[in-house]
Amino acid sequence: MTIWKCCICAGLFLLLALTLPAAGVEIAVNPDPVLLAPGEGAQYLNFDFLVRNTGEEALVILNVRVTAFDAKGALVTRREINTMGMRPSIATLGVTEFPPGAMTVVLNPFHSFPARMPLAELRYELEFTPKESEGDIRAEVTVRPVPFKPKTALRLPLDGRVLVSDGSDFYAHHRRVDLGHPFLAKLGMTHNPTRHGMDFMVADAGGRTHAGAGARLEDYFIFGRPILAPAAGTVADCIDGRPDNPIGKFGVDYDELMRTKNGRLLGGNYIVLDHGNGEVSFFAHMKNRSVKVRKGDRVQAGQALGLVGNSGDSFEPHLHYQLQSGTAFDVETLPAVFRKYWRYSGSSREKVKVGAVDTGDIVENR
């Protein structure tokens, strides 16, 4: 992570250009480089702005604008969110005030664009004003995203029809990680370790994820369902023996978490599967005493790894799955692109050859 204060060319990857006034604002983007991920009829830019107010007065953000250009410099599109409206759109950022001397995460609000748009360069303009005095402060950041090219042919990690209850879209809790939070600082984290993470559940025809009142683990349709390797790989790490939480309660020993600095403990019972090409699968919240593999085991695509549970940082049974760039916890995640599945929409379904999944999708291996 680097704070840029001038126009810099970062090789063939990411170009950031930052223009700062004398009022004391520093901006970086995270992660670096910024990936342009493929989607179903769309393309995604999942990154954050890291804004540091180096002045002595709190700032309020007024506007975020993006102007996109193609490889020849021709205008593609222009969008903005601001303080207009009775409920201003700028509030969707989650944070609008920036205390002096602090670093604050601002989620990039322009997360998705139509697949047809050639996004070679995106110029972001952020406008602030001092909270107690007059004047505008503007900063500009130019991003040239790197198209993500998946290396691993992934299958969905569960058979049968499943619901993606939370993905990596703008409103997903996985991407709303505040790197300036003291808890993360104590863990020594410098990346959002769940940025492209997704939660899988099973829902009935009415959209319910459990039978009855859902007071017992066994009431949940996904509880105990087999978790399958999405591709071949070697088990780099795994843990079992953590109890499943009662519904609505977490089961993380925070003293152990802080002592060991092992952020994976948030996942309860988990498996880290290295695909051997710089892409790694991580499975979390597995059922107690269900993990079927050991560290060093070689597994094949579709092989059973364990069962869905409710261990670790989990309120109700679900599978947390993500693709990431390394076997450690504090690394950037990657967009997961799956092959050969059905996507359901009401009473109809479509065959997907290769595609990403996101919040609200109902999908099934074929």
Q: What is the pLDDT of residues 101-111, one digit of tens each?
A: 989 999 999 99
Q: Is residue 1 part of a domain?
A: no
Q: State yes or no: pLDDT of 13 exceeds 70.
A: no
| 74 domain-assigned | yes
> What would the DSSP string read from start to end of 106-159?
EE-S--EEETTS--SEEEEEEEEEESSS---EEEEEEE-PEEP---S-B--SS-
Q: Are residues 69 and 212 in the same domain?
A: no
CATH number at residue 56: 2.60.40.1470
- Please state, for a pLDDT cut of 90, what percent of the chain lies above it: 76
Helices and strands per DSSP (H, E), number in the chain: 2, 27
Is 31 in the same domain as 69?
yes
Mean pLDDT, all residues of the chain: 91
Residues 124 and 184 reside in one and the same domain: no
Q: Of 121, 147, 173, which closes a domain?
A: 147
CATH number, domain with residue 173: 2.70.70.10
Q: For 221-270, how does the pLDDT look when each residue is reduced to its tens digit (9 = 90+)?
A: 999 999 999 999 999 999 999 999 999 888 888 889 889 888 999 999 99
Note the pLDDT of residue 296.
Answer: 98
Is the domain of 175 the same as that of 219?
A: yes
pLDDT, position 30: 93
Q: How many domains does the chain have?
A: 2
121 and 224 in a common domain: no
User: Binning pLDDT at 50, 70 and 90, where does residue 2 land?
Assistant: very low
Judged by DSSP in three states, 241 sits in: coil
CA dihedral 71, 37, 98, 92 (to 10 degrees): 110
* Pair (125, 270) in one structural domain: no
Tens-place pLDDT, residues 301-315: 999 999 999 999 999
138-142, 149-153, 178-182, 243-247 — which is least confidently predicted? 178-182
Structure tokens at 275: 């695909």
Does some domain include residue 71? Answer: yes
Q: Are residues 219 and 95 in the same domain?
A: no
> Is position 49 within any domain?
yes
Same domain, 241 and 183: yes
Q: Is residue 153 part of a domain?
A: no
Query: Would you say the C-alpha torsion 251, 333, 175, 61 has a positive or negative sign?
Result: positive
Q: In what order do the strands lie in the sheet with 35-38?
A: 112-114, 42-45, 35-38, 146-147
182 and 256 share one domain: yes
Q: Are residues 129 and 202 in the same domain?
A: no
Residue 3 structure tokens? 């704070």
Q: Which residues contact 346 (CB under 8 A, 6 or more apart)?
A: none
**For residue 232, is it within any domain?**
yes
Question: What is the chain's percent helix, strand, coil content, to nearest 5?
Answer: 10, 40, 50
The answer on 181 and 111 residing in a single domain is no
Q: What is the pLDDT of residue 341?
A: 97
Structural domain that includes position 223? 162-365
Q: Which of 90, 119, 147 is the last residue of a domain?
A: 147
* 119 and 15 both lie in a single domain: yes
What's residue 23's pLDDT? Answer: 58
Mean predicted confidence (pLDDT) in 151-159: 97
Q: What is the pLDDT of residue 9?
A: 33
Q: Could you say which of 147, 170, 194 is where a domain stops?
A: 147
* C-alpha pair distances (Å), 278 with each of 15, 133, 181, 275: 23, 50, 29, 7
Predicted confidence at residue 133, as pLDDT, reads: 87
Is residue 270 within 8 Å of residue 227, measured between CB atoms?
no
Quick one: pLDDT band at residue 94, thresholds 50, 70, 90? confident
pLDDT (tens digit per residue) in 22-77: 458 899 999 999 999 988 788 999 999 999 998 889 999 999 999 999 999 999 99
